[in-house]
Amino acid sequence: MERVYLTREGYEKLEQEIEHLRRVKRREISKALEHARSLGDLRENAEYNAAKEALAQNEQRIAALADKLSRAQIVDELKISPDKAYIGARLILHDLDTNEKIEYTLVSPDEASPPKGLISTTSPVGKALLGHKRGDTVKIRVPAGELKYKILEISR
C-alpha cells in the first residue's frame, strides 16, 4: 500500500471535503432522488437517472478520499531539512530567462493548485526542484522547452 504524503493543511482540506460530501452532498442528492421518484415512471425518468449518477459519483469520491486519508502520512516539517526543497517548502526562484521572481510551494498532487503557486512534487517543475538548496541553479525540461531557475530562498 503506497503512502500519500500530505501537509497538515492538505490533510485537513481532504477531511473537510469528505465530511461535506457525507453530510451535505448526500442529503442534497437524496432529496433530488426523492423528488425524481415522485414524478412517476422511473424507467424513463431523466431526473431520477441523473440523481442516481450523481449519487454514484459522490460515493466514488468519498471512497477515494477515504482511501487517501487511510494511507496519508502528514509531513513533519520539523524532521525535514529546512535548507532543501522538499514537500511543504516555499521557494522563491529567479527565472534566469525572464528575470522575474517566482514563488512556489511544493505540495502533494492532491494539494496542487498552480494558479495559487502550489505545485506538485510529481510535476516536472516540482520533481526537478526536489532536494536542491538555496543558490542552486536548476534546469527543468518541460513540454514548452527548458526553464532555468536559481533558488533564492527556501522557507517553511
Residue-wise pLDDT for 111-147, tens only, equals 899 999 999 999 999 999 999 999 999 999 988 889 9
Report how many domains make up the chain: 2
Strand partners, 154: 91
The CATH number of the domain holding residue 132 is: 3.10.50.30
Q: Give yes or no for a contact between 88 and 76, defined as CB atoms under 8 angstroms apart.
A: no
pLDDT of residue 79: 66
Domain boundary among 57, 74, 91: 74
> Residue 96: pLDDT band by 50, 70, 90 thresholds?
very high
**What is the value of pTM for the model shown?**
0.70
Residues 60 and 104 in one domain: no
Domain boundary among 74, 103, 134: 74
Residues 81 and 147 in one domain: yes
Closest CA to 131 of 85, 94, 97: 85
Residues 66 and 113 in one domain: no
> Residue 10: pLDDT band by 50, 70, 90 thresholds?
confident
Boundaries of domain holding 83: 77-155
Q: What is the mean pLDDT of residues 26-33?
A: 94
32-85 confidence digits (pLDDT tens):
988 888 877 767 778 888 889 999 999 999 999 999 999 998 887 666 667 889
Residues 38 and 61 in one domain: yes
